[in-house]
Structures are given as structure tokens and as C-alpha cells.
Amino acid sequence: MTDTIFQQIINKQAPANIRYEDEYCIAFDDINPKASIHILIVPKKPIKMLAECHSEDQHLLGHCLLVANTIAERLNRLDNYRLMINNGAKAGQEVFHLHVHFLSN
């Protein structure tokens, strides 16, 4: 099966403006921003969607939220951001590799 665009970005096989990276996740600018700052926080583990997460993913999910804080701090937005996860095509999910939208104006 072909890698998703996010897996290609994780593998450095597709370009992205990377804002943050560690062993568990990567964060980069959304190509079609819906706010002045629109960053996607993507776990490196290939999980399709939030509904496929289990208890073993608890640390990873919490980590992604704390990475949002790190990004917000770097951008001076600690008191001004929102997070969103689209779970499933009916909810608007287009890329089936779990990601958290970080939005701030």
C-alpha cells in the first residue's frame, strides 16, 4: 500500500516546513492553513485515526498534547490556541494518519 503523505513527510520523502520533531512525533505547517498559524502534530506511529488508539497509545496521545504546548510556547501563543482532531471521513478526515490540528490567530 502507498504511504500517506504524512508518512512520506515523516520519512523525509516529501517536503514540509517542520516546526518540531522528536522520536515520537513530527509537527509541520498545514499546506492549506485555516488560521494564521496552522500546524499539524503527527505521531510517527502509523495510526490511521483516533478511534484506532488503545491504552498502549495513552503516552503517545498525551505527548502530542504536550508538544502543542511546546509549539505554543515557542510561538508566544500559550494563551491562544485550539486543537482539533477529525476522526473519520464523515467528520472531515482526509489524511488517514492520525494528526492533531494546532490553530492560532
Catalytically active residues are 99
Q: Is 36 or 55 the residue whose CB approaches ligand AMP more closely?
A: 36
Residue 3: exposure state from Cβ atoms within 10 A (0-12, 13-18, ≥19): middle
Provide the grid cell at 80: 491562544
Q: Are the beta carbons of 81 and 65 closer than 8 angstroms?
A: no
Q: Is 53 or 78 the residue whose CB approaches ligand AMP more closely?
A: 53
Rule CB under 6 A: is residue 30 a binding residue for ligand AMP? yes
DSSP string for residues in 59-99: HHHHHHHHHHHHHHHHTT-TTS-EEE---SGGGT--SSS--
Residue span 8-27 as binding mask against ligand AMP, x where in contact by CB under 6 A, dash where not: --------x-----------
Q: Is 65 or 78 the residue whose CB approaches ligand AMP more closely?
A: 65
Binding site for ligand AMP (CB under 6 A): 5, 16, 30-32, 40, 86, 92-95
